[in-house]
Chains A and B, each alone.
Chain A
Amino acid sequence: MSLWRKELRGLRPFVALAIAFSAFELLELCFSQVDQKPLVVTFWKGRDAAGIFLALLAFAVGTGLATRERDEGTLAFLDGLPLARSRVFFTKVLVALAVVLLYPAFALLLSVLTHRLSAGTLEQALLPGLLLESFALQALVAFAAMMLGASLGLLRSLTWMALGVLLTGLKLLIDAVPRAALLDPMALLEPSARGTTLEVDPEGLLAHALVGLVGLAVAWRGFTHEGAGRPALPSRPVVGALLATFTVASLLAAMALWVPRGGGTPGSDATDGPAFTPSPPAQVQTAHYSFSYPALSAREALALAAQADAVFLEVQALLGAPPGEPVLVDLSGSMANTLGTAFPGRIRMKLGDDARLVLAHETAHVIAHRLAQAEAQPFWDRAGVLNEGLAHWVGRRFELADDDERAAKRDDELLVLAALQARRELSVRKAADEEAFARELDDNLKYPLGAELIASLVELEGADAPGKLVRAFATPTLPLGLEGAQLWQTVFQVAGFDLARVEDHLFARVAAFAREQQELISSLPRPRVTLVVADLGRPGTVGARVQPLELPEGYELVLRFRPAPDSPLDLYDTRTTAPELPVWRAASRIQGRQVCVQPGIRTPASQVLFERWACLPVRDAEHLDVYPEGLEEDE
């Protein structure tokens, strides 16, 4: 007993610390509404910070366990007592553990008391087993941390540096081998819960117990064999400074690795606006679809689900396809700038006024993909204009607008095709090479062009022609490596169609429309671009601007840039501008001292009628003396 008292006396600063923190806890309670603190709140609150503190305190207490008596010269007195060193050591361990656990025990007791005052009828059960389980986990982590401290404490002045190195190493190990996370004490201190139990990794328990026991053994041996001389480092100032530097560096490195970056809990970040609870997921199953959507926006989703099977059957009939597995539809949103995106057997789309149309469009993609599935080569995926055109053609049958609006929309879509044809820049064979098409023309034109092509096919070959064409893509005897116009030609041939005849029919349709709209087409402006340089006290800033012109109402002027003629498509960028308004180019985007730019006009149907590309040398640019106001700075 006297040994216990002696040890307690030795740990007085830490007992005082535990009492101080307990007093703070009590004080905090007094400054809050004590009957508003059920365990469902208090049990989880601040566990991470409290866990770090507990582990750190235990480690700190542990560092002196095996060495302090020797360092302070009191070991000889203990040796003079009729007590084995082992008994002294284990008493030290037990007392220290009890001191470290004083504060967590008090905090647990307080949370039980406040729960009693706060709980409603649905949450009255105290679940003492779970509370004890949690306390036992804290005790285990404290034991492991303390024994680690006790064993590393044998290194004396290297103790904290060793801790930093160990923590850094552990984090790197966890990143490389995730299973090593079982050594992470926070995983035990912040367990998840299922029902009325804590989810604890048994391997984690074992690992911490092992760390504790190994540390105990090392520290015990260190304590019982103390006296053979203290392994001291030279006490030169340089060594001391180096030691301090390395200790701080190792601890900072560990902290940098362990403290999560970007800080803060998701949803609780300091934002200017209010944060609303995100909607949980909801699901509904129909005969041909499985929809998932935000639970708080279910009405629109259910309205779509109610008519979804009819949509599926109509698309299926248009393409002559078997039913197949239900299509998974995620209604939570789509990729940027799209209303929907189709994947094999799966659709992502936004809810909105056009939801039925979008569903039909994307369902056409999914069904076409199933029909055209060829194991050897994904030929269908290489026919992007046909793929999108088919879906667009299907989608047109689900448009909700009345006939006039529908016709006007179709006219808008055809207008750019007609203008391109009038300029002799439209070619179906060019459309077969999707990348080349997107380099020269607006990528969005693939929808109306493909849809017109399918419509021409149906007019010439009958209603079942689209299904036949798509199935032909799955023909196993198609030569490997077919691409572009050659692929189209071959597939049309396999399906029993003549691509040239379909193309002629398409051009005849577009030409007929062009004749009707001749006046409008000929009045469309043809933008021209020049370069300007503004000297602003640093190397000239280069901009491109369109010469003055009159734009019809509802039209916009755009400039598309690429660093060089052979730049990949993802380096293209398109900016909306106005006549004479320069679009500045960052120096990093200019390659070979020339600016490659393609002017165009965007129609009300959001399709762009581009002019031809031009690469303009910077040296020929017009110099501006004054930086014009109100211009966009290109980043």
Chain B
Amino acid sequence: MSLALLRKELREHGLVLGAVLLLDALGLASILNDAARHGGRFTGLQRFFAIFGTLTAVVLGNRLVVREYTGRTQLFLEALPLSRARVLLTKWLLGAFALLGVAASAVALNLWWQSSERIEAIDAARAFSRGALFLLCVWAFCFLAGLLGRVRLAAWLLVGSFYGASNTMGFDATRLPPATLVGEALGLSRAWPSGAELATTLAVVAVGLLGAAALALLKEGALAQALGQKASSREFVFILTSFVGLGVLADQLKAERKQPPFALQGAATVDTPLVPVAVMPTGDFPEEEAQALAERLAARFEGLGEALELPRQSGAWVLPQSGLDREVTLRGALSDSDGIVLQANVAAPSFEVPMLQAEFVHALLAEHTRNRALREDRHWFLDGFSHWWVARGDPDRLALQVQRAAATPEPITAAQLTRWEETEDALGDALSSARAHLVLEALARSRGEAAVLALARSAFQRPQGDARAWLFDRGLEGLLAREGLNLVGLAADAEALRQHGAAEPFAGTATLSQRALGGRQVELSVSLEGLPPGAPWRAFLLQLQPWEGAVLPERRQRFDAFTPQLVLPVPVSSGDRVLVQVELDDEALGCARRVFSQRVDIL
């Protein structure tokens, strides 16, 4: 260390250093004033060290290093009878001691601010040690970054990106040292720095010092000198845009993280080898009913895991929701946890539990296959399997499904199965899945249940989560062919089964008409003939986005009517593309019957 150099630095930067310290004091006062309202003896210091401490280190780095090298004034220093190493060490120690002084002053000010409370000296010492170590780490980096000259921006952006993107990459960098030094442990001053924190600080300081020494001393400081030249605006722009672009990409490249299972206290739970089943009791759905429902649901998961060789799943949850229509089941999107959470009005008098069971099987398999089971060529198989599995050994359920399949006159064909989006669009969920169910039932009758399960095992294998899933996908027809089956034959068998159904097809007709209003506006009206007077029915409307195919039923706007004519009170415009569907309740089938579905380009 050189005292003369020290005096020079203080003379040169004293004013700026004083201004920064004043700013620090004001910032600390403001933070402490705010922290007093939230409690915690050292919580203010957390923010102070993280924000103002870092800022002070940056300013010091800029004044002591960057200015010297970009201004090429280090050449004057090199002309003095001082070694480069001594100059470097003096600057480093000056910055380090200044920051230690800031840390000590901050802790002292914090003690004075809270003089009304009794704070043990050891607590203050713990707080100081944490703050001091953190600032040493930051200083070591700032010093090194300062010697990086024109590329220091990239170094800062790298560190910033590391902290910013750490969550995306599946870990939280603020929970790792050295950030933990100014974490909650400092706020409560409950622990001395841990071994890991000490080791990290030492490592950062060592790397920083060695790196700085390498840059400033090797080849007589040529590296630092070269880097100290001003960056061109193109370099600056290139670095900046590269990082912005990388940030955008990092946001999109979110890692597939293992989430903790979804959990709520107080649920009635039944465990099965495949999945724990839980039903949340509510005011309308007391605990004993929740327990009974959980047991009914769990009964249908028994054996499914073994039959399809599925691994254990996170959880299957039911959140009862009164007010929802009994045929509505909503899947909840989980952001921070894993599992299948369905919302349904399970307390409704005629709630269909098998439907809920099938929904769960459907969701489990879709999840397990990374949604590949929802691809159009095999979606019918997933729908059919879910219902078939639930209805096994339940002749009443099967009979109901046969009735539902027979509710529309069109025969079951192979084309209907492969163009499943169109089929679902035309028939609705309940009637289309009944048809798929019959295909599985026909297969089970002709080849035995084992054949269905063997096919399901192949179809519902968990694929890779990348392009290999597409490259090695044989498609359902390929799997059928391997088992010596074909869709035409399966459809014919199912059609023969459907013929046993005696449900009457809807005899009426629905028509959609358009009427031009002023400008580009168009009025849509639907008429439904063939219903008894006063019978309720409903029309659905959805404005379709470009390329929009299959739609979730719960996205459609609904218009109920008690008369045969209904003018849809939502204006559409020429150029719009809308989906119009008409449904009515069928008490005998216990579900909605879709009698009209059309995608219309408004002219």
Contacts and interface: CB of A to CB of B under 8 A. Distances in A.
Given A270-B335, A271-B335, A123 B549 contact: yes
A298 B560 CA distance: 9
B429 interface: no
A64 B549 contact: no
Contacts of A285: 561
Interface of B: 67, 71, 116-117, 233-234, 237-238, 240-242, 244-245, 248-249, 251-253, 262, 319, 323-326, 328, 330-337, 341, 343, 370-372, 375-376, 419-422, 425, 463, 465-467, 469-470, 473, 536, 538, 540, 543-550, 552, 554-562, 569, 573, 575-577, 599, 601-602
Nearest to B370: A33
Contact of B548 (A28, A50, A123): A123
A614 to B, nearest CB: 31
A34 interface: yes
Nearest to A192: B545
28 contacts: A14-B238, A17-B242, A17-B245, A28-B249, A40-B546, A40-B548, A45-B252, A117-B470, A120-B549, A122-B425, A122-B548, A122-B549, A123-B547, A123-B549, A127-B546, A274-B262, A274-B334, A275-B335, A276-B331, A277-B330, A282-B557, A282-B559, A283-B558, A283-B559, A283-B569, A295-B558, A296-B554, A297-B323
A272 B242 CA distance: 34
A300 interface: yes
Given A30-B466, A63-B237, A195-B577, A119 B547 contact: yes
Given A28-B252, A195-B602, A274-B319, A119 B549 contact: yes
A52 B546 CA distance: 23
Interface in A12-71: 13-14, 17, 20-21, 24, 28-36, 38-40, 43, 45-46, 49-50, 52-53, 56-57, 60, 63-64, 68
Nearest to B544: A195
A161 B91 CA distance: 33
Contacts of A60: 237-238, 240-241
Contacts of A196: 546, 575, 577, 601
A268 B254 CA distance: 15
A195 B241 contact: no
B371 A46 contact: no
A297 B325 contact: yes
Contacts of A538: 116
A301 B558 CA distance: 12
A194 interface: yes
Nearest to B579: A122
Contact of B547 (A43, A295, A305): A43
Contact of A122 (B252, B326, B550, B601): B550
Contact of B538 (A14, A193, A298): A298
A194 B543 contact: yes
Contacts of B602: 195
Contacts of B552: 277
A86 interface: no
A2 interface: no
A194 B547 contact: no
A351 B323 contact: yes
A49 B248 contact: yes
A537 B324 contact: no
Contacts of A35: 375, 469-470, 473
Nearest to B559: A283
Nearest to B424: A122
A125 interface: yes
A234 B238 CA distance: 25
A299 B336 contact: no
Contacts of A130: 546
A276 B558 contact: no
Contacts of B333: 268, 274-276
Contacts of B332: 273-276
Nearest to A197: B575
Contacts of A300: 323
B473 A295 contact: no
Contacts of B554: 277, 279-280, 295-296
Contacts of A127: 546-547
A388 B460 CA distance: 62
Given A122-B599, A295-B554, A299-B325, 9 more contacts: A13-B238, A28-B249, A36-B375, A122-B425, A196-B577, A275-B332, A276-B330, A295-B556, A295-B557
A74 interface: no
A249 interface: no
B215 to A, nearest CB: 22
A344 interface: no
Contacts of B371: 33, 36
Interface residues of A, number: 82
Contact of B71 (A237, A268, A269): A237
B234 A64 contact: yes
Given A40-B545, A277-B554, A296-B328, A121 B470 contact: no
B181 to A, nearest CB: 26
Contacts of B323: 294, 297, 300, 351
Interface in A450-487: none
Contacts of B334: 274-275
Contacts of A120: 376, 420-421, 549-550
Contacts of B242: 17, 20
Contacts of A38: 547, 549
B325 A13 contact: no
Contact of A195 (B319, B330, B601): B601
A281 interface: yes
A297 B348 CA distance: 12
A284 interface: yes
Interface-central residue, A38, A272, A537, by most chain B CB under 10 Å: A272
A121 B466 CA distance: 24
Contacts of B550: 120, 122-123
Given A29-B467, A272-B336, A274-B262, A282 B547 contact: no
A348 interface: no
A39 B547 contact: yes
Given A63-B237, A197-B575, A43 B557 contact: no
B238 A17 contact: yes
Task: Name the 10 nearest CB pairs between A and B, nearest first.
Answer: A274-B332, A123-B549, A282-B558, A122-B549, A284-B560, A295-B558, A195-B577, A120-B376, A60-B237, A40-B547
Nearest to A278: B554
Given A195-B602, A276-B330, A268 B335 contact: yes
Nearest to B263: A272
Interface-central residue, B341, B420, B546, B555, by most chain A CB under 10 Å: B546
A276 B536 CA distance: 28
Contacts of A171: none
Nearest to B348: A299
B241 A17 contact: yes
Interface string A85-123: 000000000000000000000000000000101011111
Contact of B326 (A14, A286, A299): A299
Interface string A581-620: 0000000000000000000000000000000000000000
Contacts of B573: 194
B546 A286 contact: no
A68 B560 contact: no
A297 B335 contact: no
Contact of B467 (A32, A197, A268, A282): A32
A268 B249 CA distance: 19
Contact of A30 (B467, B546, B576): B467
Contacts of A115: 547
A34 B467 contact: yes
Contacts of B117: 537
Contacts of B560: 282-284, 298, 301-302, 305
B390 to A, nearest CB: 23
A284 B546 CA distance: 29
Contacts of A28: 249, 252-253
A39 B550 CA distance: 13
